[in-house]
Chains A and B, each alone.
Chain A
C-alpha cells in the first residue's frame, strides 16, 4: 500500500535536503531584468546606488533537486510544473553571495474539474552573506492522484 498524503506530510514537510551557493553578478541581473522587459531603473541601470536584482531573479537559480532522495511515489506519473511564487524580502545586489536552503514546504491534495491532484511545494529560502533572508521561491509540482 502506498504512502498517504498525511503520512508524507508528517515525514517530509519541513525537511531541508540541499543547499547551494551563488555569487551574484551584475551581468546576470541585467540579463534577467531585460528578459522580463523590466523598465524600472533600479533593475536595469547599474550606475545607480540602488541598483539591485529584479524581485523575481532568484527564480532563475535552479540547480536544486526538486525532491529529496527517498521521497515517496505520490500520485501517478512524474507530474507537471505548477508554477513558481517568489517572495522578495530584501534587495539582492551584485557581489552578494546567496545561500539557498531547499526543503519540502507543503504536500496537499485538492479536487477539481479534472479529478484529484496532489501538490508538492518545493521551497528555497535564500539568505545573503550577512545571514539576512532575501527571497523565498516556491515551486509547485502537480501530480494526478489516479
Chain B
C-alpha cells in the first residue's frame, strides 16, 4: 500500500488544506494513495478525529508531528504522552540527539525530513557540525524539494545504509501525493506503520 508520510493541514500555521479536501482531491484525481499521515509543525494534534473521513473516503489517516531541531526538521511517528514529556515540540532548537533517543525510548520512530534542504535539512548542518548518531532512515523524496536536493538525500542515504522514504510535504490540497512511500505490509494503524518503518519493508516513490 502507498502512504504519503508528510502532509500538513490547516492545523499547521502555514497549512492551507482541510483534511476532507485532501480526501476529496485524492479520490477525484484518482491519486494512487491508500492514505496519508498528517505531520503538523511543532505540535501533535490531539483534538482532531478523522475516523469519519477514513470511513467515508476509504483512506487511512494517521497523525504524527514535524519537530524542529538543531540539525533541521524531523518527522516523529508514533507520538504518545510519554514522548511529549521528553521535549518541547514547539521549540525550534531541540537537540536532535535528544529527539532521536527519546523517540526510540518511547516507542516512536523519528526521521529527518528534506535532509537536502538549506538551513532546515540535516546535510546542510553536516557541513559545519559533527554528524549525528542514531539515524536509521530519512525522507529522500520530498514534494517541496528543489532540483538536486532529493538527489543529495538519496546519495547520502545510500552511502550510510539508511532507508529512505517519501512524503509530499503538502501544505495545499493539490500537492498531496507528489511523493509517497510504498509498503510491502498492509498498514491499518500507527502501530502498523511503526512496525513497517522499523522493518524497512518499503520503498520511496515519486509521482511528480
Contact = CB atoms under 8 A, between A and B. Distances in A.
Contact residues of A: prevailing secondary structure: strand
B139 interface: no
B13 A113 contact: no
Interface in B54-99: 68, 72-73, 90, 92
Nearest to B14: A110
B119 A114 contact: yes
Contacts of B41: 110
B92 A111 contact: yes
A116 B90 CA distance: 14
Contact of B119 (A109, A113, A119): A113
A114 B92 CA distance: 14
Contacts of B13: 108, 110, 119
A131 interface: no
Interface residues of B, number: 12
Nearest to B68: A111
Interface residues on A, range: 10 to 19
Contacts, number: 25
A62 to B, nearest CB: 22
B120 interface: yes
A112 B92 CA distance: 10
B92 A110 contact: yes
Interface in A79-118: 108-116
Contact of B120 (A109, A111, A119): A111
A113 B117 CA distance: 7
B52 to A, nearest CB: 23
Interface string B91-120: 010000000000000000000000001111
B175 interface: no
A114 B90 CA distance: 19
B42 interface: yes
A135 to B, nearest CB: 18
B119 A111 contact: yes
Contacts of A111: 68, 72-73, 92, 119-120
Contacts of A108: 13, 42, 90
B42 A112 contact: no
A112 B120 contact: yes
Contacts of A116: 92
A113 B90 contact: no
A114 B118 CA distance: 8
Contact of A113 (B68, B92, B118): B118
Given A110-B68, A111-B73, A112-B119, 6 more contacts: A108-B13, A110-B41, A110-B42, A113-B120, A114-B119, A115-B119
Interface of A: 108-116, 119
Interface of B: 13, 41-42, 68, 72-73, 90, 92, 117-120
15 contacts: A108-B42, A110-B13, A110-B41, A110-B42, A110-B68, A110-B92, A111-B68, A111-B120, A112-B119, A112-B120, A113-B118, A113-B119, A114-B119, A115-B119, A119-B13
